[in-house]
Structure 1
Amino acid sequence: MYDYLKGQVTRITPEYIVLEQQGIGWRLFTPNPFVFRQSASEQQIFVSMQVREDAQLLYGFHSLDQRELFKKLIQVSGIGPKGALAILASGNPTQVIQAIEMEDEAFLIRFPGVGKKTARQMILDLKGKLSSLLDSFELPSTDEELPLFGVNPNQHELEEAMLALTALGYSEKELVKIKPLLEDDENLSTTDGYMKQALKLLLKMK
């Protein structure tokens, strides 16, 4: 129904962003809301509408390829939109596609809500169908992650990242393990930076 929306990002939360277009604020759930920036400049965001019994939800993506991978993931039995967002939030869809192609179940079960049965189903349903996306992904990053010295003053950004990871389905037990590592990393200063490093640690941890 919708292909993309153009407007201004007026709000960013751990679960979604708000894109204002002609006086209407669209709530868009995204893999990592903090890669977006509130700005008066117009931005184009590709969208996918998912209808369920109690709601009609819009999901937003930086690129067509990111959206296409999302749409393929939610076709797999056992993976809903929230699970697909958690997989895309890893920041490395190419690694996910390669894991499917190589039947690497051990890698796939590291994502929230993906057990051995779902990982096997992902491989059965998607192997050989994602190669066209392999060379297309280059997810946005921030250039604001400057080194810091002394005590980390970015507690607010860290807590925002923790809330976003919780929204993606990661457990408190998992987050408790990586939070000290993030607090000690003086190279991190933005919520997006904390998110990306946390996801790297979470995928290595299991």
Structure 2
Amino acid sequence: MIDFIKGYVNYVSPEFVVVEVMGIGYQIHTPNPFIYSVDSDKEITVYTYQHVREDILALYGFKTREDKNLFMKLLNVTGIGPKGALAILASGQPAQVVHAIENEDEKFLVKFPGVGKKTARQIILDLKGKLNDFVPSAFPDLFQPGEETSVSLKGNTELEEAMEALQVLGYGEREIKKILPALQKEDLSTDQYVKRALQLLLK
């Protein structure tokens, strides 16, 4: 498995980019190839997934590991192949996709090319509650040292991770701070904190 490729953008097409590494050009299919046009004069890192089939050997690449991880999760969904997963990532922000899955928002998911109601339901069925390894690491810590918060989270790792997960799901810091006092009164796992937080946010 090629985990990442570090080199210079040699060519950009509507479907892929070519990254040159020591005289070798790697053709990498990406969600939005043209975003690499601005990087033509500097060395870049593309996180890659190597797809192998009897008649296909292809590289798919992403700006971040989080995008790559979500792509790989989508490949586990029945009925979604690399092109379908790539289209989903090209059409929306990963955080929005995760939010839609966790909230069973079929209307959002069917907006993606090739995703009908049946596939949207399958995405939710296969992935809801299974994106924990994607959510906590996708964004930096919600509260940085020196920032004022209404509640101290020191020592509560589960609650800290849950707050990070909520930010990934698209909730703003102001919204999250409002529910912190209620959450701190409870002793829960990270998953339970997230579920409880969503209940409070959706009231």
The 8 Å contact of residues 93 and 137 in structure 1, kept in 2 or not, is answered as: no
Cross-structure match for 1:20: 20
The 8 Å contact of residues 19 and 25 in structure 1, kept in 2 or not, is answered as: yes
1:87 aligns with 2:73: no
Cross-structure match for 1:125: 126
1:98 aligns with 2:99: yes
Cross-structure match for 2:35: 35
1:8 aligns with 2:38: no
Deviation readout 1:1-47 (Å, 9 max, x if unpaired): 11101111010000000001111110000000011125232111110
**What TM-score comes out, normalization by structure 1 length?**
0.63
SS in structure 1 at match of 2:40? coil
- Shift in Å at residue 116 of structure 1? 1.3
User: Are residues 90 and 137 of structure 1, via their aligned partners in 2, closer, same or farther at CA, if it must alter by over 3 Å?
Assistant: farther
**What TM-score comes out, normalization by structure 2 length?**
0.64
Cross-structure match for 2:73: 72
Cross-structure match for 1:58: 59
Deviation readout 1:160-193 (Å, 9 max, x if unpaired): xxxxxxxxxxxxxxxxxxxxxxxxxxxxxxxxxx
User: Are residues 91 and 99 of structure 1, via their aligned partners in 2, closer, same or farther at CA, if it must alter by over 3 Å?
Assistant: closer
- For 2:89 and 2:139, the matched residues in 1 are separated by 11
Deviation readout 1:84-106 (Å, 9 max, x if unpaired): 11111124111111111011111
Deviation readout 1:95-151 (Å, 9 max, x if unpaired): 11111101111111111111111111111110011244346269xxxxxxxxxxxxx
Structure with bigger RCO (C-alpha 8 Å, 6+ apart): 1
The 8 Å contact of residues 47 and 59 in structure 1, kept in 2 or not, is answered as: yes
The 8 Å contact of residues 66 and 137 in structure 1, kept in 2 or not, is answered as: no
Cross-structure match for 1:46: 47
Gaps of 5+ in 2: 141-203
Gaps of 5+ in 1: 139-206
The 8 Å contact of residues 65 and 137 in structure 1, kept in 2 or not, is answered as: no
| Farther-moved stretch of structure 1 (128-137 vs 26-35) | 128-137
Task: Detail structure 1 runs of 4+ shifted over 6 Å in the superposition.
Answer: none
Instruction: Count residues with an aligned counterpart.
Output: 138
The amino acid of 2:32's aligned partner reads N
Cross-structure match for 1:142: none
